[in-house]
Amino acid sequence: MKTKKQAIDNSPILMTEEFWANSQLSVARYYGRIQYNGHTFWILDKHGRDLWECTHIANQEGRDKAIEPGEPCDLVREDFIGVYKDLGRDKFLELLQLNRLHSDGQILKAMKSEAQKIKRRKKS
């Protein structure tokens, strides 16, 4: 029997649309987020905008869909949303793959460090 701590340690950090869209997790598309394994996961577009932000932008631009078909939308664990926004989807996925054997805390620390490096490069 798993304890709550073990269950949380086994939670994913990010789920791509290919994984969640055709599963029980697909109810997230109606609410913009979902509770799973003790964590809240938000639907984000490739820029790190949640479903509500995307809907607002789509309304301003006269589009019907918040996130257009074919555009990536991921379920991202709430504690990683900040670095997802800072790094962008591609860099986030790259760092997640490189650090997949580390603890969640170590992964978050590595991602924050990389995000700071990117911000410093943009300023100079």
Residue pLDDT, tens place only, 36-55: 889 999 999 999 999 889 88
pLDDT interval class at 57 (50, 70, 90): very high
* Model confidence at 61: pLDDT above 60: yes
56 pLDDT tier (thresholds 50, 70, 90):
very high
Instruction: Give the tens place of pLDDT for each residue, 82-120.
Output: 999 999 999 999 999 998 888 899 999 999 999 999 888
HEC string for 16-69: CHHHHCCCHHHHHHHHCEEEECCEEEEEEECCCCEHHHHHHHHHHHCCCCCCCC
Residue 8, pLDDT score: 43
